[in-house]
Amino acid sequence: MSMTVGDFIVERLHAWGVRRIFGYPGDGINGVFGALNRAKGSLEFIQARHEEMAAFMASAHAKFTGELGVCIATSGPGASHLVTGLYDARLDHQPVLAIVGQQARTAIGGHYQQEVDLVSLFKDVAGEFVHQASAPAQVRHLVDRAARIALANRTVTALILPNDLQQMTYEDPPRRHGTIHSGIGFKAPKIVPHAGDLKRAADILNAGKKVAMLVGAGALGATDEVIAVADRLGAGAAKALLGKATLPDDLPWVTGSIGMLGTKPSWKLMSGCDTLLMVGSGFPYSEFLPEEGQARAVQIDINPNMLSLRYPMDVNLVGDAAETLSALLPLLDQKDADWRREIGKEVEAWWETLEDRAHAEANPINPQRVTWELSPRLPGDCILTSDSGSCANWFARDIRMRRGMSASLSGGLASMGACVPYAIAAKFAHPGRPVIGLVGDGAMQMNNMAELITVAKYWKRWSTPGFVIGVFNNEDLNQVTWEQRVMEGDPKFDASQRIPNVPYHRFAELIGLKGLYVDRPDDVGPAWDKALAADRPVVVEFKTDPEVPPLPPHITLTQMQHLTEALVKGDPHESGIVTGTARQLLGALLPGGDEK
C-alpha cells in the first residue's frame, strides 16, 4: 500500500520527536486520523472534549516537557476553536504546532460548507509560519519548517491541509528547479553575551547596595545559577507568576510573587532597591517595578524583543539564563548581608500575615485556608497548575514551592479554562508524578467540567492515579467582582457575576472519579489528605466565601476610595465585605500597615 500524505505527516512528526497529539476529529482532517490509526500508536492521540482544550493541552505539554506541543482539528469550526489555546502558547513563548483540515482544493473559493480562510485566521497567532499545502511534494518542507520554527523561536506555527490532499499518494520533491529538499532536527544553541557586555553588567551590579532580582519562566532551568548570583549580590528575589517554580520559597530572601497577585515583601523589595536584575521575565505591570530613575538595571533574556520593555535597562544581555548567569558570576563582588536581613524580616512577617489571613473567619470557608492547608501537604515532586481568577491569587501567595516541584498556568493570556487541560497534559507527560489543579467555579462551569470526562476516559492508563482538582465554589465570578469594586467603584452586578451552584463533587462521582465536599474550615486539611491518598482522580469541592478580597499587596488610596464608592452605591453584599476580612484592605493600604 502506498504512503499517503497523511501517513507521511504522521511519520515525519515522529521523526521530529513528537509522541503525543491532542485534538478532536472531523471529516476535514480524516486523512491524517486514518494515518494515525495505521501508525498503530507511534503517535498517541489524546481526545479532548473541545478543540480549545486540546490547544491548551499542547501548550501545557510544551511547558512541562520543553518539547514541541502538537494539536489537531478539523476544518472550519474545529480550526477556529483552537485559537484561544494557541494564543496561550504564543503569549507564553511556547513551541506549538497546530495541524488543521481544510475543504478540498477544488472547493476553496466557492463559499463551500465549513470553508474558512484559515491562513488569515491564524495569521496573527501563528504569524511566523502559517501555510496551506497544495501538493504532496510540498508537505515535507512545510512540516519541517513548522516544527523547526516553533522550536527555534518558541512560538506557534500552523499547517493547513485540504482534505483531498491528505488522501493523495505522497511524493518526495523531485530534483528540479522550484522544489525544496528539507531535513529534520533542531537543538537550541548555547547563547552567551559578549564579554564586554557582561563586564558592563557586572559593574552596575557591583555598584549597587540594594539589589533586587525578578525571575520569570525563562529562568526555570537556572535555579542553581540564580541562587549563586543572588548569594553573591546579597540580593532579594521576587518571582513572576510563570516563574513560581524557579526558586524554592524556603529561602528567606525569596519574596514570592510580584504584581496584582503578589506579596508585600515583593512590593517593598522593588520600592526599596537601587539596582534591578531581571532574568527571563516579561512581567507586564511596570507599576510594581522600581520607579523610573530609582534603580540602575540589567536584564537577561533569550528573546531580544523582550529587552528593556518594562523598565529602561542600562545593560541588556541576550542569552540563556543559566549560561549567562554562570558567565556573570565570576565578575561579581561579594556583598554584605544587611539588605538581605532587612528583606528576610519582611518575608518572615509576611508568612505570619498569610497564616493569620488564612485562619480568619469566613462564611463558610476562607479561600486562603484552602491553599494554606494544601501547601505543606504537597508531595515533593508534584506538578501544580491553577486557573485564572481569584484562585490564582491564593495559588500565587499561599503555595510555598520546594525544589522538585513544577508549576504553570495561563500567564500572558490569563485565560479562564486552562487548569484541567493543563493538568491533563502534565499527567500524560509525567504519569508517575502527582498533579494538583486549583480552579474557580466560573472556569469550572465554562469548560473544565467537560474535561473531567477526559480524565475519566484516560486515567487508568497512568502509572499512578495521583490527580486532584480543587474547586473554589463561591457562586461568584470573584476576581471580576472585586475588580469592579476596587478599580471602577461599582457595586457587584449580580446579573453578570452570580453563577449557579453546581455540585462538582457529585459530577465527579457520576463519571467514576472520587468526589469530596467541604464546607467546614477544620475539614479542609483532612480533605486534602484524603484526596492526595486516593486510588483514583479526585475533585475536592470547597464552599468558599466570595467576600474575602483577592487584592494587590499594596492598595492605593484611589482603589480604597473606589471600594468606598461601591459600598455607598449599595453593593448587594455590603455586610459581607465590611464584616468579613475587610481589615486586610486596611492592612494593605499603606506600607507597614498592621491588619492585626
Query: Quick check: do 5-167 and 195-344 share a fold?
Result: yes
Distance of alpha carbon 67 from alpha carbon 71, whole angstroms: 13
Burial letters 227-249, b for 16+ CB under 10 A, else e:
bbbbbbbbbbbbbbbbbbbbbeb
Q: Are 65 and 429 in contact (CB under 8 A)?
A: yes
The cell numbers describing 547, all together, are 467576600
Distance spanning both ends of the chain, measured CA to CA = 76
Distance of alpha carbon 334 from alpha carbon 234, whole angstroms: 8
Distance of alpha carbon 289 from alpha carbon 302, whole angstroms: 21
For residue 436, the cross-strand partners are 384, 468
For residue 22, the cross-strand partners are 46, 71
Class of domain 5-167: alpha beta
CA distances from 19 to 15, 16, 70, 146, 424 (A): 9, 9, 9, 16, 16
DSSP-assigned states of every residue in 373-397: HHGGG--TT-EEEE-SSHHHHHHHH
Distance of alpha carbon 518 from alpha carbon 416, whole angstroms: 24
Q: Would you put residue 93 in left (φ > 0), alpha (ψ -120 to 50) or beta? A: left
Residue type for position 539: V
Mean pLDDT per segment of 10 residues, for the chain of length 596 residues? 93 98 98 97 97 98 98 98 98 98 95 95 98 98 98 98 98 95 96 98 98 98 98 98 98 96 95 98 95 97 96 98 98 96 97 94 96 98 97 96 98 97 98 98 97 98 98 91 79 88 98 98 98 98 92 69 71 63 52 45
Q: Are strands 383-386 and 435-440 parallel, antiparallel or unpaired?
A: parallel
For the chain, the domains span 5-167, 195-344, 360-589
State which fold the 195-344 domain adopts: Rossmann fold (3.40.50)
CA distances from 534 to 203, 371, 426 (A): 54, 19, 18
Q: Are 265 and 255 in contact (CB under 8 A)?
A: yes
Strand arrangement, sheet containing 315-318: 254-257, 236-239, 211-215, 275-279, 296-301, 315-318
Q: Which CATH superfamily is domain 360-589 in?
A: Thiamin diphosphate (ThDP)-binding fold, Pyr/PP domains (3.40.50.970)
